[in-house]
A = this chain, B = another copy of it.
């Protein structure tokens, strides 16, 4: 039995081992991913992003618990991505804290990812890990990213449904940063909604939504730019106006409503055809990345180390520009 087959048969140890192989981008991991690929494509991928301190982790735990406690419980995987932590300490601690709520439940699997590697590498490893969970039969995969940078946004783009989590009392600068992230939000969550300032946060989010959303959505669906207000747009079945949901994750308040919004969004995606559109875009991105890497690796393999070093020497002396260096390397390689 191959490792991929063990994973498909529900072997948790094999799953854990494969995740490590995929995270480290080993040949064995890539091979298993290939074998699992036909079995993936069924899970609902939900990205959760937002500022540090918004309580994302607690919220993700609560969402998982809610799905586990349902009448027909679903298998849930949590992928916690922290691109800024080079120490595994934080991630490991995170897992331990989570364990208290979800330990002993074989329908839940939690994986923390932290890496020193390049950002592209992290996004790719995350995509691989998500695919493994998908193929292994996890029906819901929660992808949690720390922070509010473009990196996190890129990783969240893996998802079918993206939650952006806010908490009351964020400063102005943080609000401004959020403007970029709002664009990718399918559902907005105000967590810690029992804290003072929740009404202000909701007002701020609403006005940013009005600014960011209707035009873009209508433009996309009808092929021409026009402004509609949220109530008007709500009558168009092809449109999704991101709802704002209030939660208090530490007490579980609002989580049921949030889960309803998540299901409603999945339904909307399937009805509008956006589900398969997002799948296609995602697979195309993955293909392009893999193709580029393969081309680069192939090129480097047939390039002599001394020739490369010589070119870099000329670069550092500035007797050759980077573009001239590329042309020189590509010509030299042809001959």
Binding site for B on A (CB under 8 A): 30, 33-34, 37-38, 40-41, 52-53, 82-87, 90, 118-120, 122, 146-154, 171, 173-174, 176-177, 179-181, 183, 276, 279-280, 283-284, 286-288, 290-292, 294-296, 299, 311-312, 315-316, 318-319, 321-326, 329-330
Instruction: Check A294–B330 contact: CB distance below 8 A.
Output: yes
In the complex, A31→B30 CA distance in Å? 39
Closest B residue to A89 by beta carbon equals B179
In the complex, A9→B318 CA distance in Å? 20
CB distance from A270 to the nearest CB of B (A): 15
Instruction: Check A326–B149 contact: CB distance below 8 A.
Output: no
In the complex, A295→B151 CA distance in Å? 25
Closest B residue to A172 by beta carbon equals B53
In the complex, A181→B147 CA distance in Å? 13
Instruction: Check B151–A316 contact: CB distance below 8 A.
Output: no
In the complex, A179→B88 CA distance in Å? 11
In the complex, A33→B326 CA distance in Å? 14
- Taking a contact as CB atoms closer than 8 A, the residue among B38, B177, B290, B322 that contacts A283 in the complex is B322
- On chain B, the residues within 8 Å of A316 by CB distance are 276, 279-280, 283
Q: Is the interface of A mostly helix, strand, loop or mixed?
A: helix
Instruction: Check A177–B295 contact: CB distance below 8 A.
Output: no
- On chain B, the residues within 8 Å of A179 by CB distance are 84-87, 90
- On chain B, the residues within 8 Å of A323 by CB distance are 30, 33-34, 290
In the complex, A148→B299 CA distance in Å? 34
In the complex, A302→B154 CA distance in Å? 29
List 9 A–B pairs whose Cβ atoms lie within 8 Å, in order of A's numbering: A37-B318, A52-B173, A85-B180, A147-B147, A149-B152, A279-B316, A288-B296, A291-B296, A291-B330
CB distance from A305 to the nearest CB of B (A): 13
- Taking a contact as CB atoms closer than 8 A, the residue among B38, B288, B294, B324 that contacts A321 in the complex is B38
Closest B residue to A320 by beta carbon equals B37
- On chain B, the residues within 8 Å of A181 by CB distance are 84
- On chain B, the residues within 8 Å of A279 by CB distance are 316
- On chain B, the residues within 8 Å of A146 by CB distance are 173, 177
Closest 8 CB pairs of A and B: A149-B149, A37-B321, A84-B180, A83-B150, A52-B173, A292-B296, A34-B321, A295-B295
